[in-house]
Amino acid sequence: EHNIILPNISLSLYLRKLKSKIKTLKALECSCSQAGSPRAQELHELVAEMEQDYQTLESQYRGVSMFIESLFRPSHFQKGHLVLRRRTTRVFSEIIKPQLQLFLPKFQERNIEIDVGLGGVPDIDFPLSVDKGLMAQVYANLFSNAVKYTRTNQQGRRYMSFGREELKDFFGPGKDGIKFNVFTTGPHIPPEDIPHIFEEGYRGSNIEAEPGTGRGLYFMRNVIETHGGVVGYEPTNEGNNFYFVLPLITGPEPPIAVELADTKKA
């Protein structure tokens, strides 16, 4: 854990220094503009690019920090299983969107469209009580698989979509669920593979030369079941749909101090 935390601290310090240098450059840009320098516009564009790069780095740093905390949380090792830290989280803006931005260059490299119109993504992002770090890793695994296994459909399109759907009484009377999905175009998973795709270490027969360990979907199942949900796969007319259903819980949440105290008792 020590070997992971130190580089993370170093990156945090680097980002602070970079932000300070950008601030200095902006002051220089202002001076050049007031002095009527012919290079003022060029400097303005350079500063704008640096600010964009900084925002991207900072976003990725926050994501990595969240991953590290959720993976190396001491309570996981003390109890021998995943321990949730539920927080009221806006799933799209705080979990899905940051992961999508992280994987966007990889989708673009493989000419994979992102079709948000087909996934039923709502305009209103509602809160849900989940472990933000662990759920972010679920989407990281799903988007990683989408990058590797999306193929062209019969209409010549290659795309990924995602969304959500509220399911009334899914977990029993008065116990609603919410279904999240990631869809990709391409050939269906072979029927003989379907019963095993969420098993640890299992890799299907249609993986071609794509790298992987066979643990991503197993990890997803573990996280979702720890949340009290279920995972699944369904073939559709144009491709493959991976989904999970969570209980529609929005709170209340125990204070962090209570969670830590419970961990120490275990």
Domain boundary assignment for the chain: 2-72, 85-247
pLDDT digit string, tens, across residues 69-110: 666 665 555 566 578 888 899 999 889 988 898 899 999 999
Higher pLDDT residue, 204 or 200? Answer: 200
Instruction: Name the band, by pLDDT with cuts 50, 70 and 90, for residue 160.
Output: very high
Q: Evaluate if residue 124 carries a pLDDT over 70.
A: no
pLDDT digit string, tens, across residues 13-61: 777 888 888 888 888 888 888 777 877 788 888 888 888 877 777 766 6
Instruction: Name the band, by pLDDT with cuts 50, 70 and 90, for residue 233.
Output: very high
* CA gap 216, 200 in Å, rounded: 8
Position 262 scores a pLDDT of 46
Mean pLDDT (the chain, rounded): 80
How many CA atoms does the CB half-sphere of 144 hold within 13 Å? 15
Query: What is the architecture of the domain spanning 85-247?
Result: 2-Layer Sandwich (3.30)
Alpha helix locations (H) across the chain?
2-34, 40-71, 74-79, 97-109, 132-149, 216-226, 256-265
Position 260 scores a pLDDT of 43
